[in-house]
Amino acid sequence: MKKIVLFMVIGLVFLITQAQETMYGVRGGAVFSSLSFDNAVNFENDGRVGAFFGGFVDWRVSDSFSIMTEAQFSAEGAKDKPYRLGFIQLPVQLRYQIGEIIKIGAGPEFSFVTWTNQDAFTRYMISALGSVEVMLTDMIFLDARYNHGITNILKSEIMDNEAYNRSFQLGIGLKL
């Protein structure tokens, strides 16, 4: 596993150093999230509406491909207060440009819990991410993303269940 990660990091560094253009920017918007439990729960598990904001760097690798990394804060989890979560998220996407104004992307997202009401949650989460971006002008864009949590975010020694965070983001961004 360590060799695979090392190979991926070396490949990413090589691609970044060969990048033709680098774009920086900020984005923010609304996030709609929920917790998906493996076993039934004894409370009303409603989704949560929150907000996210952060910055990004988009390295253009070719005319059609780029690699985008970000750091952002996102308020997610469930509606009930004990299950509300705040995350620092670090997504990495491989993006493909379709035509002049549309980009699609996919990749992993590493998230770190910044706040919980109880100590039942792990401190990190890994998700799979998919996105669509539409340019409105040369600098302003709209995007939609889906995050599918793939790691259990509950501490097994505290709760006899597994939970996975799922979220959908609608955002607006500015390329600087």
User: What's the mean pLDDT when you consider all of the chain?
Assistant: 86
Q: Left if phi > 0, otherwise alpha if psi is -120 to 50, otherwise beta: which for 107? A: left
User: Can you state the percent helix, strand and coil of the chain, rounding each to 5?
Assistant: 10, 65, 25
8 Å CB contact between 101 and 135: yes
Between 76 and 19, where is the model more confident? 76
Quote the pLDDT of residue 148: 95
Quote the pLDDT of residue 14: 57
Q: What is the pLDDT of residues 28-73, one digit of tens each?
A: 999 999 888 877 777 777 889 999 999 999 999 998 999 999 999 9
Neighbours of 129 (CB within 10 A): 20
- Domains of the chain, first to last: 20-175 (2.40.160.20)
Q: Give the position of tokens 């076993």.
A: 39
d(CA 131, CA 145): 4
Flag whether pLDDT at 129 surpasses 90.
yes
Quote the pLDDT of residue 153: 83
Model confidence at 123, pLDDT cuts 50, 70, 90, reads confident
8 Å CB contact between 35 and 165: yes
Q: What is the pLDDT of residues 65-115, one digit of tens each?
A: 999 999 999 999 888 887 888 999 999 999 999 999 999 999 999 999 887
Within 8 A by CB and 6+ apart from 44, the residues are: 79, 80
Quote the pLDDT of residue 73: 97
Percent pLDDT > 90 in the chain is 55
For residues 151-160, give the mean pLDDT.
Answer: 73
Quote the pLDDT of residue 113: 87
The model's pTM is 0.82
Q: Give the position of tokens 């600087």.
A: 176
Percent pLDDT > 70 in the chain is 82
Tokens of 88: 């620092």
Neighbours of 154 (CB within 10 A): 19
